[in-house]
Structure 1
Amino acid sequence: MKTLEYNSQKKLKGIFFIILSAFCFACMSIFVRLSGNLPAYEKSFFRNLIAFFIAVILMIKSKNTIKIKIKKQDWIDIMARAIFGCIGIVCNFYAIDHMLVADASALNKLSPFFVIIFSFFILKEKVKLKQIFFVIIAFIGMLFILKPGFAEISLLPALAGISGGMCAGLAYTFVRKLGSHGVPGAFIVLFFSAFSCISMIPMMIAGFHVASREQIVMLLGAGVAAAGGQFSITAAYTYAPAREISIYDYFQIIFITILSYFILDEVPDAYSFIGYLIILFASLAMFFYNKRK
């Protein structure tokens, strides 16, 4: 009985953190759009710079920092998480800059769908038929959001958005694997942030754009929001399996649409509202199914 209660508490914590990360990443997308026409790689650099310093502070304060021992196989997974996460961010930022923020966010939210697929092949996690059904429902809801403006979406930004979602899903799968191996979340974020910043430097040197004071403020806001989302989603996937909580990441679409309405004056249409309701239904159905199990 105690084991069941403990697992239930961990699952609820995972749900809380993944919804929190969805809100933080929604705020990040708004800040990225408000930062103007800076290159995606420059925005990516600032996005990860804040997370890097926060991770350094947490690692220094941690009493177990000296005791951290990373196995050889874990280093491979850490590197894979960093590479795919970095590619996913650049693709997502490119999509945000070249299409509606809500559409870009919806494409990026393919990541939970890819998480479940990759978790099956990489982590050997069992996936129940009902869980697949709920994810498909959420995916259909996302299509309702994209359908009205799909004809206006150019091919390259759309492909970038889908690629960003796929790479993010693969990166989060490795986060889940590293968490199950006991690798601290702060260290995962630290390595990923450092890798992302360093990998962006060559492109920034080749084509650096001077940002205005307002753009710097927006980039710093994006960095703070991204750091909150990064730590939250890292915590989420270390608390619970991807197949049980990844569906809640779709809340980001709802958050981004609300924020876009009040900040960017983007008004959703009837198809979008249908999509939101479908996604919310799928999320609630998944929650009650997991709670009953």
Structure 2
Amino acid sequence: MKLPAAGPLAHQRPLLGVTLIALAATCFATMDSTSRYLGGFVPVLLFFWARYCFQATVMAVWLALRGGRAAFATAHPRFQFVRGALLAATSAMSFYGVQQMPVPEFTAINMLTPLLVIVLAGWWLHEKVSRLRWALVAGGFVGALIVIRPGSGVFGWAVLFPLAGAFFYASFQVLTRRLSGSESPYATHFYTGLTGTLILTPVLLASPIPVLATLQAAPAWQIGLMLAIGALGTVGHLFLILALGLAPTATLMPFVYLQIAVATIAGWLIFHQVPDGWAFVGMGVIAACGAAGAWLNVRSTGKPADPVVVDTIAD
């Protein structure tokens, strides 16, 4: 049985695409909030490993059932490893970062990625960067400064987590832009989970965490939340891939920034934390500049978007 198409738009259904992108944003904001909550009971490294192990297992079964051995084919194994390693590094910043600062502010700063892509593409790939793009980059970083407010003591060193996460993910996008056209996004989704699992397994085993004892002592609700984190990450990216096959990317990308709104609502409901007025202003500036930057990044390619490249949600 053939896998569903992704990438070039065979059948455009913009409303369904927008719905799926909104669901993806909801999945990732919920995953970050769940990670912050579970981090108070379970070592972060343990459910960080479980998130990638879940993805690798589920996608392996799904690919085997839908396409057999051929579904696992990859033209660029090294590309898959580098991509997976960069995403694992990005996720590490997310899983540990949300333990140190509120999820809405973390999410907003992390979504500087499309603007960093503009900077890195100009630096590494020597692409021409227009004045409009530089203005958007400057605007996005002004928004980040409004959220962070250096010297205020609001977040301190913790802001390095979302900033580093945005840098890692922007590096991934620039590095893989020219190689992704020959890869299946579904196979890539599997190899992302596999790479993360292979990297994190020896790290977890070498850590002082008593894995089996911790799992045996954990109540059912903690195990359930660990599985939920894996499911939210896996399904969220699948929603994103499917959405990109149903509607133009320029239509979808602004809705990615719903993740900030969902994170704000989740932070209020779960942690009783609400960003202050200046934080809302900064998040709005980042969202506006980031969405415009993502739209320009897609428009400049002049061809249908590949889900591997424009996957701007990095959890």
Aligned match of 2:26 = 23
Q: Are the equivalent residues in 2 in contact too, given 1:35–1:215 (CA < 8 A)? A: yes
Distance in structure 1 (CA, Å) of the matches to 2:53 and 2:282: 34
Q: Matches of residues 61-210 of structure 1 in structure 2 within 5 Å?
A: 61-63=65-67, 65-66=69-70, 69-71=73-75, 74-120=76-122, 128-147=130-149, 151-155=153-157, 157-174=158-175, 176-181=177-182, 183-205=183-205, 206-209=207-210, 210=214
Deviations 1:247-267 (A, max 9, x none): 654432222112111222111
State the AA in 2 paired with 1:51.
Q
Aligned match of 1:56 = 60
Q: Are the equivalent residues in 2 in contact too, given 1:175–1:238 (CA < 8 A)? A: no
Distance in structure 1 (CA, Å) of the matches to 2:263 and 2:173: 20
Give the SS at the match of 1:218. Answer: helix
Unpaired stretches in structure 1, ≥5 consecutive residues: none
Give the SS at the match of 2:149. Answer: helix
How many residues matched? Answer: 284
Moved more, 58-67 or 231-240: 231-240
- 1:264 to 2:271 alignment: yes
Deviations 1:192-211 (A, max 9, x none): 11111122122222322515
State the AA in 1 paired with 2:193.
S
Moved more, 34-43 or 229-238: 229-238
Distance 1:82 1:12, change over 3 A: farther
Aligned match of 1:43 = 47
1:190 Cα offset (Å): 0.7
TM-score by length of 2: 0.72
State the AA in 1 paired with 2:111.
K
Q: Are the equivalent residues in 2 in contact too, given 1:115–1:246 (CA < 8 A)? A: no
> Which of the numbers 272, 275, 281 marks the counterpart of 1:274?
281
Q: Are the equivalent residues in 1 in contact too, given 2:148–2:155 (CA < 8 A)? A: no
Q: Percent of aligned pairs with the same residue?
A: 21
Unpaired stretches in structure 2, ≥5 consecutive residues: 1-7, 303-315
Q: Are the equivalent residues in 2 in contact too, given 1:78–1:178 (CA < 8 A)? A: no
1:87 Cα offset (Å): 1.2
State the AA in 2 paired with 1:275.
G
Distance in structure 2 (CA, Å) of the matches to 1:231 and 1:196: 17
Q: Greater helix percent: which structure?
A: 1
1:118 Cα offset (Å): 3.9
Give the SS at the match of 2:74. Answer: coil
**What's the Cα RMSD here?**
4.0
Distance in structure 2 (CA, Å) of the matches to 1:129 and 1:245: 24
Q: Are the equivalent residues in 1 in contact too, given 2:113–2:290 (CA < 8 A)? A: no
1:55 Cα offset (Å): 1.2
1:141 Cα offset (Å): 3.0
Distance 1:135 1:6, change over 3 A: farther
